[in-house]
Amino acid sequence: MRANANLFWILAGFFLFSAVLYTVWSLLYYGKVEWVGTVALTLSTILGTFLAFYISRSHRSQGGELPEDLLDANIDDGDPELGHFSPWSWWPIALAFGAGLVVLGIAVGFWLAYIGVAFTIVCLVGWTYEYYRGYFAR
């Protein structure tokens, strides 16, 4: 985590340097500040600083190095499996299609959003109960 925090501090410094350079360059070239780029680079600096500060504080308060940060750690030193992944499932693709249909319905015609919501609910239920019935039941 220390390496991640250092990378975010470096990234924040880079964005700060870029924001100052961009602002000075636009002042010299155009005679005025180009606000879109200046604000975007300044907000990127703030985001990098927030992330670096949070990761630094988390690293300091964790009470030691994590197994992921040690060079001599074994795979078994880390946490056990946290979830379940099913590479054969088609439900996530159908759910993405349903969500896309909802967004398209909001943008094009609201009647399409109703169909998308119904399809999305069917896909959520199907994905939830995929491991309770059929071939993959546990």
pLDDT of residue 20: 98
In a domain, 135, yes or no: no
In a domain, 76, yes or no: no
Residues near 37 by beta carbon (within 8 Å), at least 6 away in sequence: 22, 26
Mean pLDDT, residues 49-62 taken together? 92
Radius of gyration of the chain (CA): 24
The predicted-structure confidence for 19-36, as pLDDT tens digits, reads as follows 999 999 999 999 999 999
Domain count, the chain: 2
In a domain, 75, yes or no: no
In a domain, 84, yes or no: no
Residues near 44 by beta carbon (within 8 Å), at least 6 away in sequence: 15, 19
Tell me the residue range of the domain where 10 lies.
2-70
Report the C-alpha gap between 104 and 107 in whole angstroms.
5
Report the C-alpha gap between 13 and 7 in whole angstroms.
10
In a domain, 136, yes or no: no
The predicted-structure confidence for 121-138, as pLDDT tens digits, reads as follows 999 999 888 888 777 666
